[in-house]
Chains A and B, each alone.
Chain A
């Protein structure tokens, strides 16, 4: 049955960790509810694969516990935890057919043959593999093989959680769509606990109900796609989510104003109050919300256009503003500016975020 997973642990490279860099995973406390779809998102080396392997039982955390439905499984093997894992590259048994591959975990549990056949048929149909059941697994394409890997996990009726380690890495971009859709359908139908590790934001945001953004062993924010996009709790989240990521401009607070470069822009009461007396302030605004105009107006900052890229469905404009690089994503219907032109950008709006020491203040 889909399990609830609770983590209260840390994982260090050596026996006596003294500083942050000694940890692969800094102390964390996290819960994944039963039947939920989660993603662990972060750049290479952030610790997401380590966390996944701790959950699956392939790695034992150097300190702390892992609980499945309240039961401490920290010392238990992956088999006992009843999890399934899908790896980066397809892991299949070359000498067996597709059907035999799918049946393998069930045969090891001594399920009756008839039940095995039914279950294999069910899962094969869900994954659209039923036409290839009797073919040798080694001769299939990469995405079919990944489906088999996934199928071996799904075929067990009492699997507690399925863990994915960047499973779409070897898949062609055209086929990634189909597999993503398939994964979402599987979640809808079977309501299993699914945990997905990736460095690709589209995969994470699409697949998961909640995303854990990680960097250097630390979980920086856990939230839904909307939360991560609209209100990133950390500048790293703002930078990592979104293509291109959030723009950050350093500024200094001066009573009711923020000094950016040489311009003052007015803050509202709430913002001024929260930022009072703080240094190391950054203003964060996503390229989608940057407003570009030809004329100066209230609270705008002058900028110079450095590059204009037509992306087919939208326009990406790179500008230099107050000593920073600023990017704006504009619809194709917006006014076109030439490279080198002077423009005025408005950065204040309900989507603007302010950060102090990299963390969200308001």
Chain B
């Protein structure tokens, strides 16, 4: 091997140092905390896997996990079909397409805590558009007091915020379908529903997997928006997993169990990533066979 290759390693040293500082070392710190009982900054006791065990048995945690799972699945159930519909109705080309793309993508550009603040105000009965309208219509709506209302508001906020991502991905997928398929369908006398079922949906498969993967991961880790909107309330009705974790770590300064749970959280997401990724690979090879076969 020529020496040129060795020199290349030195070029990436700065990157390695940065990544080490920002990711690896903090991660190692967390692992360190997870096996210790930190009673005060000076007093630490090694407890091994005790935190892991107690965390797994914590009923509050189970509730938060359950809420999180329901939330993620609701998010997917609403955003994916809505995103597909949105993508189908977006124009395919020309200046209209460009404007639509920009308008659709706007909500993705807003900082997440601002999103929470927007909806916080939006939902208020006194100064918020939605709140006031609902009050005018005599609908009982109070997202700070009523758990169901809080849930719906958080869900609605997430849908408003993230459906455009699904829509943009599906839009890209749709654009890659050659015209000939639509022409053939017209000639075959297929209805619009048939075209969707037999041409558009199968050809969007790869893109949809990515959309599902991204939205599932992101919604599973969601923190800022619900925190700003409801603070986790009322009570702990909208306290999802990440917030529960933060409460434990920062609020109660129980670093040990918090660290332990962080790791478990990390591993859950890793596992789900792995499963979905392999599924995507399978879809990829199937798609390749279709092209060459």
Closest to A83 in B: B187
Do B187 and A78 have beta carbons less than 8 Å apart? yes
Instruction: Tell me whether A96 is interfacial, beta carbon within 8 Å.
Output: yes
Do A56 and B293 have beta carbons less than 8 Å apart? no
Q: For the side of the interface on B, what is the size category?
A: 20 to 34
Do A56 and B187 have beta carbons less than 8 Å apart? yes
Closest to A91 in B: B184
Contact of A105 among B188, B199, B289, B290 (CB under 8 A): B188
Closest to A77 in B: B186
Instruction: Tell me whether A138 is interfacial, beta carbon within 8 Å.
Output: yes
Do B184 and A79 have beta carbons less than 8 Å apart? no
Instruction: Tell me whether A58 is interfacial, beta carbon within 8 Å.
Output: yes
Q: In the complex, what residues of A have CB within 8 A of residue B198's CB? A: 93-96, 104
Q: In the complex, what residues of B have CB within 8 A of residue A149's CB? A: 184
B70 to chain A, nearest CB (A): 31
Q: In the complex, what residues of A have CB within 8 A of residue B180's CB? A: 87-89, 91
Q: Which of B129-182 contact A (CB under 8 A)?
A: 178, 180-181
Instruction: Tell me whether A174 is interfacial, beta carbon within 8 Å.
Output: no
With A91-B184, A93-B199, A95-B198 known as contacts, the answer to whether A105 contacts B293 (CB < 8 A) is no
CA of A317 to CA of B184 in the docked complex: distance in angstroms? Answer: 47
Q: For the side of the interface on A, what is the size category?
A: 20 to 34
Contact of B290 among A78, A87, A94, A96 (CB under 8 A): A94
B202 to chain A, nearest CB (A): 5
Do A108 and B188 have beta carbons less than 8 Å apart? yes
Instruction: Tell me whether A152 is interfacial, beta carbon within 8 Å.
Output: yes
Do B189 and A105 have beta carbons less than 8 Å apart? yes
Q: In the complex, what residues of B have CB within 8 A of residue A94's CB? A: 198, 202-203, 290
CA of A140 to CA of B203 in the docked complex: distance in angstroms? Answer: 17
Q: In the complex, what residues of A have CB within 8 A of residue B272's CB? A: none
Q: In the complex, what residues of B have CB within 8 A of residue A140's CB? A: 293
B2 to chain A, nearest CB (A): 43
CA of A79 to CA of B182 in the docked complex: distance in angstroms? Answer: 13
Instruction: Tell me whether B191 is interfacial, beta carbon within 8 Å.
Output: yes
CA of A56 to CA of B202 in the docked complex: distance in angstroms? Answer: 26
Q: Which of A123-156 contact B (CB under 8 A)?
A: 138-142, 149, 152-153
With A94-B290, A138-B293 known as contacts, the answer to whether A104 contacts B190 (CB < 8 A) is yes
CA of A105 to CA of B190 in the docked complex: distance in angstroms? Answer: 7
A14 to chain B, nearest CB (A): 17
CA of A109 to CA of B189 in the docked complex: distance in angstroms? Answer: 8
Q: Which of B250-270 contact A (CB under 8 A)?
A: none
A292 to chain B, nearest CB (A): 47
With A93-B198, A95-B198, A108-B194 known as contacts, the answer to whether A85 contacts B189 (CB < 8 A) is no
Residue interface bits A53-65, CB-to-B below 8 A is 1, else 0: 0001010000000
Closest to B186 in A: A78
Q: Which of A92-130 contact B (CB under 8 A)?
A: 93-96, 104-105, 108-109
Contact of B189 among A58, A79, A139 (CB under 8 A): A79
CA of A320 to CA of B289 in the docked complex: distance in angstroms? Answer: 51
B111 to chain A, nearest CB (A): 41
Q: In the complex, what residues of A have CB within 8 A of residue B187's CB? A: 56, 78-79, 83-85, 105, 153
Closest to B183 in A: A58
Closest to A104 in B: B188
Q: In the complex, what residues of B have CB within 8 A of residue A89's CB? A: 178, 180
Residue interface bits B184-223, CB-to-A below 8 A is 1, else 0: 1011111100100111001100000000000000000000
Q: In the complex, what residues of A have CB within 8 A of residue B290's CB? A: 94, 138-139
Do A138 and B289 have beta carbons less than 8 Å apart? yes
Closest to A139 in B: B293
CA of A88 to CA of B178 in the docked complex: distance in angstroms? Answer: 11
CA of A95 to CA of B180 in the docked complex: distance in angstroms? Answer: 17
Q: In the complex, what residues of B have CB within 8 A of residue A152's CB? A: 184, 188
B38 to chain A, nearest CB (A): 56
Do A91 and B181 have beta carbons less than 8 Å apart? yes
B286 to chain A, nearest CB (A): 8
CA of A79 to CA of B191 in the docked complex: distance in angstroms? Answer: 11
Closest to A87 in B: B180
Do A85 and B184 have beta carbons less than 8 Å apart? yes
Do B190 and A139 have beta carbons less than 8 Å apart? no
Q: In the complex, what residues of A have CB within 8 A of residue B194's CB? A: 108
Instruction: Please give the residue numbers on chain B whose beta carbons come within 8 Å of chain A beta carbons, in ascending order.
Output: 178, 180-181, 183-184, 186-191, 194, 197-199, 202-203, 289-290, 293
Instruction: Please give the residue numbers on chain A whose beta carbons come within 8 Å of chain B beta carbons, in ascending order.
Output: 56, 58, 77-79, 83-85, 87-89, 91, 93-96, 104-105, 108-109, 138-142, 149, 152-153
Given A91-B180, A93-B202, A96-B198: 9 more A-B contacts, CB < 8 Å: A56-B183, A79-B189, A85-B183, A93-B198, A95-B197, A105-B187, A108-B190, A139-B293, A152-B188
Q: List 29 A-B contacts (CB under 8 A).
A: A56-B183, A56-B187, A78-B183, A78-B186, A79-B187, A85-B183, A87-B184, A89-B178, A91-B180, A91-B184, A93-B198, A93-B202, A94-B198, A94-B202, A94-B203, A94-B290, A95-B197, A95-B198, A96-B198, A104-B190, A105-B187, A108-B190, A109-B189, A138-B290, A138-B293, A139-B289, A142-B293, A149-B184, A152-B184
